[in-house]
Amino acid sequence: MSSLLLPQIPSTDTSAYCQARARLPEKLLEKLFNDSARNLENKVTQEHLWCGRKVLVIDGSTVSMPDTKENQKEYPQTSSQKKGCGFPIAKIGVIFSLVTGAAIALCIDVMNTHDIKLARNLYSFLKPNDVLLGDRAFCAYADMFAITKLDCDAVFRKHQSRTTTMRKGKIVGDCDKLVTWYKPTRCPKGLSKDEFDALPPSITVREIYYYIVIPGFRSQRVSLITTLLDKTSYPTLEIVGLYYKRWDVELDLRHLKTTLGMDILRCKTPSMVRKEIHVYLLAYNLLRSLMWQAGNTYNTPPLRLSLQGTRHHLIHFIPKLEIAGSRKRNRLYRTLLKVIVHKEVPDRPARTEPRTKKRRPKAYPLMTKPRHELRKQLQTA
C-alpha cells in the first residue's frame, strides 16, 4: 500500500518523443511552413510595396548535420575532406520577402549544387508581377527569360564573366542603358536540349552601373542587369536603392543559422534533417509574424525590430500565456507586442566594420584522419 503512495518519477527516456517526432509527415511540416509564409504575405498592403511591386530576395547557403551513414549517403561531405574527417552538408536555396523578412520558399539539395539550379526549382513559387532580387550567381540568359515568361521581373548583379562596355546599347540615362543579349551558342549546364531550343535568339535587358566609395566595401563598381525596362516607372536610383537592400537576405540567413541555430543540425537521418529545416523556417516565420503584428500595432517598422529580442521576449511570456485565461491572455499578448517594439534596431546605412575575428580559436589541430586511426596513433605512441 505504501508503494502506491510514492510519487511516480518521470522517465528520462526520450525514445517516445523521438518516435512521435519521426511519425510527423514531412509534407505536413512543409505545408505548415508554406502556410505561415502565405498568411504573413497576405497582410502586406499596397503602401508596403516597392513601386507597386512585391519584391522577393533569393540566396543560397549550407547547413551541416551529424556524421551518420544515412546522412553521408544523401548529403555527402566535400570531396576535399577525407572520409571520417568531415560532416555531411546540404545546400539550401531560400526565397525571402523583402517587406516582411519571411521565408517564402525552400529547396534542399547536395552541397555541390550550383545556386542557379536551386533557383530554377524555386521559380514555381513566383507569382505574376513579382520582382526577384539576387546576386550575380543568378544572372544567366536562360533565367532572365524564364522569369519574364512567368510575368515577373528580375534585378540581378551582372555576372563577372560578362564584359562591360559603354560602346554598345541604347543610353536611357546616366549610367543606364538598354542592351541586347544573344542566345548562347552552346547549351549551358543544367539545361536540357529542349529547354535550350525553346530560348529566344535574343532578349533586351537594362544595365545600370554605379560606383561605391564607402570605405570597407569590397566592391567598387557594381553593374546591375534587370528586366525592368521602363525608366519612368522604375527610375535608376530606385533600382540602385533596391539592390542595396539585397543585403537583408544575408541578415535573414544569419538569423536562421546563427540566432536560431540552424547552422549545425542534430538529426541523424535525411528525412529528419529535412523536417528539422522546415521546423526552423516555420519558427522563423512565426517570429516574423509577431514582429509584423507588433510593428504595425505601434507604428514601428517591423524590419527595424530585433528578431533575437523578439525570440527572448516570447520565451519569457510563454509560461504566463499558457496558464492565463482568454481575457488575461489577450492583455498579455498586447503587452508582449509593446515590449517587442520598446527598443528598435537603429538604421545605420553604409556602416562598415573590419573583416576580422577577435575571438581566438582553440589551439587544437584540424582532424586530417578518421577518429579510429587517431586512436591507434595514441595507443602506439
Query: What integer pLDDT is reported at residue 200 of this predicted model?
Result: 94
Give domain limits for the chain: 25-259
Query: What integer pLDDT is reported at residue 198 of this predicted model?
Result: 92
Query: What integer pLDDT is reported at residue 211 of this predicted model?
Result: 85
22-67 per-position pLDDT tens digit: 899 999 999 999 999 999 999 999 999 999 999 999 999 999 999 9
CATH class of 25-259: alpha beta
Amino acid at 364: Y
> Across the 381 residues of the chain, what is the mean pLDDT of every consecutive 10-residue run?
67 84 93 96 93 95 95 92 91 96 96 91 94 93 94 93 70 84 89 91 92 72 92 93 91 94 95 96 97 95 94 95 91 95 84 82 88 88 70
318-334 per-position pLDDT tens digit: 999 999 998 999 999 99
Q: pTM for the complete prediction? A: 0.91
